[in-house]
Each structure stands twice: as C-alpha cells, then as structure tokens.
Amino acid sequence: MKNSIFTLLFVLLFTTISSAQVGFSIGYKDISANNWENLMANYDVAAQNNISPLGEGTDFALDYWFRLKKRRVEFHPELSYSRFIRNGSDIDLKSGMLNLSFHTNIYPLDFGEDCNCPTFSKGGSYIEKGLFLQISPVVTYLNNSFKSESVNEKVSDIAYGVGLGLGVDFGLSDFITITPLIRYSYIMDAEWKDLDQHLNIDAPDAADKNISNLSTLYVGVRFGFRFDERNKYGYR
C-alpha cells in the first residue's frame, strides 16, 4: 500500500513532462542518527564488530516546478532516494530513504519585482535574481535491513520532518537552469524495530534507542528544464 501511494504520486507528477517544468538532482548526503549510533557505541557493539558509522550516501531526486504569479516564490514537489550502508566484521546494516518533499523557494532579493520569466531572462546579478531560501516539509519512508549469521531481517517505517536550505539559480538559457544547493533536514522519531535485540543488547533502556531523530546534511546540484519555454519556439 505504501509503495503504491508513492508510485501514484510519481506518475501524477511526471505524466505531463512534455509541457512541464521539471528537474533532477544529485548530491552527497551525510546522516546522523544519535540513538542508533549510541545504541552501538554505548554497549561497545561498534568496537566488537568494527561497524562503520552511518556516514554518507548519494541522493537522487526528480521534481516538478510551479510558482506564484506575482511574487517570487517557487515550489518543487520532489521524490528522492538515498541509501546508506555500514558493514562490520560479521554484521551488515543498510538504510534506504525514499523521501517525498515539498520544497518552497523564497527569493528575498527579487521577491516583489518579478517578470514571471525564467532566471536567464531576469534582470540583475546572479545573486540578486537567483539567491533563495528553502523550506522543505518531508515525509520519509525508511527501509532498514540487518544481516548477520543468525539474522536477516528488513523493517520499514514512516517518519516526518522539515528541512532548511540555501541555493542559487544560474540560468544557462530560458530552457536550462543549474542550481547548487545546501540543505539541513531534521526527521523525527524514525524507528529501527528490534535493533537492540539483533545486537544482543540486554539493558533496560536499550529498546528506547530503537527510535531516533535523524539529521541530514545535503550538498548537491539541480538541473532544471523549462519545457514550456522550449515549446514557445516550436520545439516538441
């Protein structure tokens, strides 16, 4: 059911691509899950099994673009996926994150005087017409797997969060815009069910650490395509 919902949303966003404004992104993402990390570190599991920290992964995303007509506020509903792998001497752990985000970009230096045209055709410097602040509510579907000699289990969870970002649009033409971006996101109460049991930890508060807040730092670049502008000149 959960996978069907994400699939339906994906189809609705991208079935009209020939006349739409879309983008794809790729970037580096660093993740921290304090309770999961502490669960291992505080009970010396990481030391005993040489488990690497959560660390970093690669993030891929597709988005749709629309905007307000009279104010420089732009919206990017986005579907993204990132994966994190950490291995030990006899334990392998993997986390996959499927994210549905609603990025809202606010352009403070061009907020009230906008020509309702692509960044490339706007007046002013790159910073003046391209700098934006981003607010991003997000729903995250997590798929965590734990593999050892005695256990091979996958569990999933849905968590919610919000991100704050900063970026700059560089218009190469009315059709193509490149956007470097940095974003910090905070996801609340993500659960890795039975992680304490898989690690054979016998402590009164160990189960509480199966639930952790997640923080991620994303650095990447978006490639935006304005098919509506391309079609104005008769290209299909």
Q: Tens of pLDDT along 150-196?
A: 778 889 999 999 999 999 999 887 778 999 999 999 999 999 888 87
Share of the chain above pLDDT 90, in %: 36
- What per-residue confidence (pLDDT) applies to 33? 87
Which residue type does 50 have? N
- What per-residue confidence (pLDDT) applies to 142? 93
Instruction: Let me know if 209 is exposed, middle or buried by CB neighbors in 10 A (0-12, 13-18, 19+).
Output: buried
Q: Tens of pLDDT along 122-131?
A: 556 778 888 9
- What per-residue confidence (pLDDT) applies to 42? 60
First to last CA, the chain: 36
Structural domains in the chain, CATH included, are 2-13+25-232 (2.40.160.20)
- What per-residue confidence (pLDDT) applies to 17? 46
Q: Is the pLDDT of residue 45 over 70?
A: no
- Residues 77-105 have a mean pLDDT of 87
